[in-house]
Amino acid sequence: MEQKFSYLEKIGKESSNLIKGLQAIQGVEGYVSDDGIRAAAEYFNIPAVEVEGVLSFYAQFKRVKPGRFKIAVCDGTACHIKGSVQIGGWLQQELGIKDGETDAEGRFSLETVACLGCCSLAPVMSINGRVYGKLDRKTVNKILREYREK
Ligand code: FES
């Protein structure tokens, strides 16, 4: 197993711990890479194809490397009522990616999430955990411009 996955050794080797192991990999890497799959397969002694099967079964696991700026668009009830679907659409259009994707430069990734816990600011999105509320097309474009310059 590659040295960079040595943190798996803190988890018991039983195959029943596979999900725990994959969560650990995602926690460190932000996603589960092909190398992560190989490491988990080796460590838990499970065929890689089975590890891939588990990954595709559980929506919590990401197979795409997140961008430098992780955009989460809230689609909880309050945000949905206030037009979150449209906000997601504008972002997709501006960034040229779909929900769950990362752009070719590895700069932005986009994900629709459930309530971000600041419903009074709906519609809301966050970028690397920083929350932006009361969004409209103008503010979304302004925020994206700021991040493009970073
Ligand atoms: S529904 Fe969007 S922050 Fe709560």
**Cα first-last separation, the chain:** 36
Distance 119 CA to ligand 1 centre (A): 4
Query: Where are the chain's structural domains?
Result: 3-57, 69-148
Rg (CA), the chain: 18
How many residues would you count in the chain? Answer: 150
Mean pLDDT of the chain: 95
Pairing, β 108-113 against β 130-132: unpaired
Our mutation pick for probing the ligand 1 site, out of 71, 73, 74, 132, counting the most ligand atoms within 8 A of Cβ, is 74
- Where helices occur in 4-136 by DSSP H, the ranges are 18-29, 34-44, 48-57, 77-81, 84-95
Please give the pLDDT value at position 25.
Answer: 96
φ and ψ of 126, to 5 deg:
-130, 150
Within 10 A of 68 (CB to CB), how many other CB atoms are there? 14
60 or 121, which is more confident? 121
Pairing, β 108-113 against β 69-74: parallel
Whether 67 has a pLDDT exceeding 80, the answer reads yes
Please give the pLDDT value at position 150.
Answer: 86
Distance 139 CA to ligand 1 centre (A): 18
Please give the pLDDT value at position 64.
Answer: 86
At the topology level of CATH, where does 69-148 sit? Glutaredoxin (3.40.30)
Distance 75 CA to ligand 1 centre (A): 7
Tokens of 24: 């650990």
